[in-house]
Amino acid sequence: MRTIRGRLLVLLTLGMTALLLVGGVVVWFVVRSSLRDGFDESLASKAGLLVASLQLEVLPEHQQRITRLGASVLADLDEKGSAGVDLTERDELLLLAKRGFRVRLVLDPDSFPEYRSSSRPEYFEVSLESGDVLVRSGSLAGTTLGSWHGPAEWNLRDVTLPDGRAGRAIRVRVGNVKFADKLWSQAWSRIRGEARLPNTTAVVLVAKDLGDVEAALSSLRIGMVAVGLLVVAGAALLIFLVCGRALHPLRQLRHQLLDLDAAALRDRVHLDQTPPDLAPIVDSLNEGLARLERAFRRERRVAGHLAHELRTPVAELRAITDVARRWPEDQELRRRCVEQGNEIARHMGRVVSALLRVARAQSGECELETAQLRLDSLLQGAWERRGAAAKRRGQTFLMRGATDLSVDGDPEVTRAILTSLLQNAAEHAPEGSAIEGLLRRDGAGVELSITNPRDTPEVEAFNAAGDLPWNDDSASPSSGQPGLGLPLVAELTRASGIGFEVEVLSGEFRVSLAFPSSA
């Protein structure tokens, strides 16, 4: 597959070449037609000259007698003849003329030297329509131009000249050749009633080679091809440069995309001058990059949370196995280690199960179950599971508000969320303090807030984007309780469609859950 620049170059060059070709052909034909028309006009002019030079004359033997009569005799004859007067010698001559007044066509070939040229001669031939040649040019040297019949007075056609050259000929039918002498013309008119060639029509053929026209056309062809090639080459270069400049934003886009990798997902595509037609693509790419960055960041965050969540149980497990291996003879120690190992394994199993549940729900592989749940029962159960550790620290848990409210949710996930929140609250609350759970209706849903006193002086900020900066503190599953860190709780609530909000107040820490619907 060629590059866009390459494709544009090829297509535009081909298109331009085709246009030039068509244009050249049209121009060539127009010029050719024009040249041939000019040639034909020139040929017709030559023929017209010949026709104009063609004259009638009385046969010489008759001419000598009749000439002597003179113009006055003819005039008298006309009057006397009409009046029935006696014929004189002059009348006899006239009668002779009446009987044998014969004429002939005459043309002086010497008046047309171009028809005698030895180099590229031209040809003419005058004949009667019957085929009898009256006169022909010296260039023909006894050969003939041949003859053809045409309906019109003037006919043109391409011919092969006697010397083999390509040429063009014109055929002119001449029916009204005039007498060379006005006197004879008048006499012929009186006798025959018209001053035209008697009983026949002359045919004039003129032929000339097309060498000049063909040479001009050949020059034109060569010139057009040369200019066309130059234009195509120049156009290709211009297209190449213009396309390069016009496609600069695409090239810039390509380079920026090539530079992008998983480590540079914060970068965005930025073109110096984004063309309007590329702007939607750039916007879509940047949106895609932003989504990808969020996905990667979330993946890293979840992986970090998971690693942290499992780090402490793994440390416990390793310490237990190390100690058990070091004193294998101590049965009591061994029994305790096995019990603790089992508890740790169950805890890690719960973490993995919850994470898998979230992951599958988010990827659409499965849906979370929905059941009607009494939150106060779940909270009390979760508190009881914390059991000994809370009692040892003298902590209590108080439920307030509308304690009979129920919500729709996945039992396992909701239980994991509540247990974790209570565990975290108890761990961060001072000894002897009370942890408070408040249930209240919030529109169509139910809001649960768990508040614990907090004597840690530092104040953390909550990142609304879902990053929980105190996750290191909160993610520690301590005291042997099956709890999850706040970051993983946040992931669970997000996957379950439960609102999750954290408030760090003066001396208090509050987590609020907004359940979307209640029964």
- Assess 287 for contact with other proteins (CB under 8 A): no
Who contacts 14 (Cβ-Cβ below 8 Å, separation ≥6)?
none
71, containing H or E segment:
helix 60-83
**Binding residues among 436-465 for other proteins as defined by CB under 8 A:** 455-458
Does position 472 interact with other proteins (CB under 8 A)? The reply is: yes
The β-bridge relationship of strands 396-401 and 434-442 is: parallel
Distance between CA 140 and CA 159 in Å, rounded?
Answer: 14
Number of residues this chain uses to bind other proteins (CB under 8 A): 39
Q: Say if CB 501 and CB 512 are below 8 A apart.
A: yes
For 375, counting Cβ atoms within 10 Å of its Cβ (0-12 exposed, 13-18 middle, 19+ buried), the class is buried
Answer for which of 10, 141, 314, 402 binds other proteins (CB under 8 A) is 314
Interface pattern 371-390 for other proteins (x via CB under 8 A): ------------------x-
Residue 54 binding other proteins, by CB under 8 A: no
Q: Which stretch binds other proteins (CB under 8 A): 16-24, 115-123, 405-413, 477-485?
A: 477-485
396 near other proteins (CB under 8 A): no
Is residue 476 close enough to count as binding other proteins by CB under 8 A?
Answer: yes
Query: Which residue is associated with the tokens 């004859």?
Result: 77
Amino acid making up residue 255: H
Residue 223: what are its φ and ψ, rounded to 5°?
-60, -45
| Binding segment toward other proteins, per CB under 8 A, in 258-266, 336-344, 363-371, 499-507 | 336-344
Q: Give the integer Cα–Cα distance in Å for 306 and 183.
A: 134
Q: Which span sits near other proteins by CB under 8 A: 74-82, 214-222, 260-268, 317-325?
A: 317-325
State the nearest-atom distance from the C-beta of 336 to other proteins, in Å: 7
Structure tokens at 306: 């998971």
Tell whether residue 336 is a contact of other proteins (CB under 8 A). Answer: yes
Task: Please select the residue that binds other proteins; options are 31, 35, 265, 323, rule is CB under 8 A.
Answer: 323
Task: By CB under 8 A, name the one of 344, 368, 448, 489 that touches other proteins.
Answer: 344
Using the structure block, give the residue that is written with the tokens 């975290």.
424
Q: Which one among 138, 466, 480, 516 touches other proteins, defined by CB under 8 A?
A: 480
Measured between alpha carbons, how far is residue 366 from residues 296, 306, 361, 495 in Å? 22, 21, 5, 12
Distance separating alpha carbons of residues 104 and 203, to the nearest angstrom: 14
Query: Rounded distance, CA 397 to CA 425, Å?
Result: 10
Alpha-carbon gap, residue 348 to 512, rounded angstroms: 26
Q: How far is the CB of 319 from other proteins (least distance, A)?
A: 5
**In this chain, which of 161, 249, 428, 490 binds other proteins, going by CB under 8 A?**
428
Residue 508 interacts with other proteins (CB under 8 A): yes or no: no
Contact residues: other proteins, CB under 8 A = 308, 311-312, 314-320, 322-323, 326-327, 330, 333, 336-337, 340, 343-344, 389, 393, 427-431, 455-458, 472-473, 476-480
